[in-house]
Amino acid sequence: MASEIVLIITEQRNRQRITLPSGKAPYRFGRSPQCEFVLRRNNVGDRQFSLGYEGNFWFVRDDGSADGTWYNNRYIHAGESCRLQVGDSIGLNTNNDAATQEITFRVEEIRTAQGAGGLQRENDAPALLRELDVKKKKKILIGRGEDCDVTLTSDRVSRHHCEITYTDGHCEVRDLGSTNGTFVNGQRVHSAVLSNGAVINVPTQVFAFSNGVLHFHENKVGISVELADVFKTVKDRNTGKPLNIVDGSSLIIDPNSFVVFVGGSGTGKSSLLTCITGSAPCTAGSVCFDRIDTKGNRNAFDAVLGYVPQRDIMHDNLTVAQSLSFTAKLRIAHDATRGEIQSAVAHAIEAVDLTGHEKTMISNLSGGQKKRVSIAMELLASPRLLVLDEPTSGLSPDLDRSMMELCRRLSHNNCTVIMVTHNMDNINLCDKIAFLGRGGVLCYYGTPEKLNPYFDVELTSDIFEKLGKPDEVEYYRQKYYTTPEFNRVCMAYPEAAEEADKRCSK
Ligand SMILES: Nc1ncnc2c1ncn2[C@@H]1O[C@H](COP(=O)(O)OP(=O)(O)O)[C@@H](O)[C@H]1O
Ligand SMILES: [Mg+2]
């Protein structure tokens, strides 16, 4: 199958986009004039690395450089090759400071021909299910280090994070003094004997244990979020009676999708968001991440979650880079080197398009740029779910588009993104919209294209008016029950179907 890879090359402030067809691969990068891409820079090898295409996949391979080639957040060395996915980055040092990547090559897109048609955008690779037999291997080491049996490429993971051993007929997990912890069934542990069905969590990775075998999805993808019949009931401050501010929401958010929550003021958007983040958990129903109920597992999931609140919390008298470095030191594993911290900061700055502003004081940034710094702070922890509450409220309308574009890009970069917004101008950039009506009722969940026809309106703004009326809200709540999106929830969570039947028979 023919394929094309699109790379963004950044060198200091210069940026260039190149598209490489698979037909002419491999492409060599280095000082030698024989290379397809000649890089005459200090510390770059004659043959530094190459990009190849084999078996329908793109690979980066270090071709025997002296200093190694940086791949995402580690070095690969002579002869080592890694499969490339959208969002990956390759970096080279051209000075003697190991901490900075002077040239970066980021994989922007991979297009692969499908059948007779033209080139199509490839979806991010699905997760691969892996199995490790603990009984057979006796000891499995998990961590960021290259000597580990399971290497996790996140700065939140310690070099030697934990190990799983088999001795005297039982399997046991032992935390090796990690910074961010090892969790078994939601509890942080120093060591624990593993029983059948145990769920082990370390930052960015979940393992399931059964019959002496460790199962895990080797993934680089965002997590899925499943809401089944979620309620938030509070005591009404006026009447003292129970009041539902989130009223039976059920929906499935796919991994690596970008979903936007919209609705009039007071329709429970923020409340629904806090049910998902767990900062104010739901009072009934279930919120699952990757099909695991978050109830009782919150601590374990903290590591995968990034939350950007409406108000930015930052020190004005620091530069962008300083402020991110401070955050990085708090969030990244304590055994991270200065180099690892600096490159994490550099990658986060690049991800939010603030390259060139590293030395700018926070106080001199515009509102939109400050918001980007807040997002970069969350990205330092490599979240698999990023949640933003009205990131553009109070900012000028033209910033909305770039914020939506940023979120879309992040969602293609190993992260699921949920955003609350009140601005409908650029709504076509998201994958799905959840529209809430008065009383915290989910009235629509689906693609932007189907939104207006579903509500039978010409202008999206008319939906807000409709969903201010209780009888319309009830009508659309029940209409949602007839959609394929709701059906998907019912297949996985039958209790959602029961609740729907009850509602409809009223
Ligand atoms: N204790 C309470 N008594 C009465 N109403 C409440 C209480 N707590 C929250 N609410 C109401 O719940 C609604 C949902 O709030 P929120 O989630 O912030 O909405 P949004 O983010 O969509 O503007 C608001 O109308 C708020 O006034
Ligand atoms: Mg709100």
Whether 439 is in the pocket of ligand 1, judged by its Cβ within 6 Å, is no
Residue 427 and residue 433 in contact, taking contact as beta carbons nearer than 8 Å: yes
Question: How many angstroms separate the CA atoms of 189 and 170, rounded?
Answer: 17
Write the residue with the smallest CA distance to atom 4 of ligand 1. Answer: 236
Whether 239 is in the pocket of ligand 1, judged by its Cβ within 6 Å, is no
Residue 154 and residue 203 in contact, taking contact as beta carbons nearer than 8 Å: yes
How confident is the model at residue 469, as a pLDDT?
95
- C-alpha separations of 206 from 131, 200, 354, 383 in Å: 12, 6, 32, 14
Whether 38 is in the pocket of ligand 1, judged by its Cβ within 6 Å, is no
For the four alpha carbons of 97, 102, 108 and 109, in that order, the dihedral sign comes to negative
Question: How many angstroms separate the CA atoms of 492 and 497, rounded?
Answer: 10
Question: How many angstroms separate the CA atoms of 269 and 398, rounded?
Answer: 23
Whether 266 is in the pocket of ligand 1, judged by its Cβ within 6 Å, is yes
Whether 232 is in the pocket of ligand 1, judged by its Cβ within 6 Å, is no
Strand partners, 61: 50, 81
Q: State which residues have CB under 5 angstroms from ligand 2, the bound ion.
A: 270
Whether 297 is in the pocket of ligand 1, judged by its Cβ within 6 Å, is no
One-letter amino acid at 378 equals E
How confident is the model at residue 58, as a pLDDT?
93
Q: Determine the atom of ligand 1 nearest the C-alpha atom of 440.
A: 14
Q: Note the pTM of the prediction, 2 decimals.
A: 0.65
Q: Strand ranges (DSSP E) for 144-269?
A: 150-151, 162-167, 170-175, 183-184, 187-188, 191-193, 198-202, 205-210, 213-218, 225-235, 242-253, 258-263
How confident is the model at residue 231, as a pLDDT?
97
How confident is the model at residue 122, as a pLDDT?
40
Question: For the CA atoms of the chain, what is the radius of gyration?
Answer: 24
List pLDDT tens digits, range 26-50: 999 988 888 888 888 777 889 999 9
CA of 51 to the centre of ligand 1 (A): 53
Q: Determine the atom of ligand 1 nearest the C-alpha atom of 274.
A: 17
How confident is the model at residue 101, as a pLDDT?
54
Q: CA angle, 226 as apex, 223 and 231 as ends, to 5°?
A: 135
Whether 263 is in the pocket of ligand 1, judged by its Cβ within 6 Å, is yes
* 390-401 CB burial, b ≥16 within 10 A, e <16: bbbeebeeebbe
Q: What's 198-230 look like in SS3?
A: EEEEECCEEEEEECCEEEEEECCCCCCEEEEEE
Q: At what angle do helices 320-331 and 367-379 cross, to 10 degrees?
A: 30
Write the residue with the smallest CA distance to atom 27 of ligand 1. Answer: 266
Write the residue with the smallest CA distance to atom 23 of ligand 1. Answer: 266
Of the candidates 442, 313, 321, 445, the one whose C-alpha atom is nearest the C-alpha of residue 389 is 313
What is the SS3 assignment for 96?
coil
Per DSSP, 361 falls in state B
What is the SS3 assignment for 69?
strand
Question: How many angstroms separate the CA atoms of 4 and 153, rounded?
Answer: 26
CA of 234 to the centre of ligand 1 (A): 9
Q: Determine the atom of ligand 1 nearest the C-alpha atom of 236.
A: 3
Q: Which residues of the chain have pLDDT under 70?
A: 12-13, 72-74, 94-101, 113-129, 217-221, 413
> Which ligand places an atom closest to the C-alpha of 268?
1
Q: Determine the atom of ligand 1 nearest the C-alpha atom of 436.
A: 22
Residue 143 and residue 151 in contact, taking contact as beta carbons nearer than 8 Å: yes
CA of 406 to the centre of ligand 2 (A): 21
Q: Determine the atom of ligand 1 nearest the C-alpha atom of 268.
A: 17
The average confidence (pLDDT) of the chain is 86
CA of 242 to the centre of ligand 1 (A): 13
Whether 237 is in the pocket of ligand 1, judged by its Cβ within 6 Å, is yes
* 334-347 CB burial, b ≥16 within 10 A, e <16: ebbeeebbbbbbbb
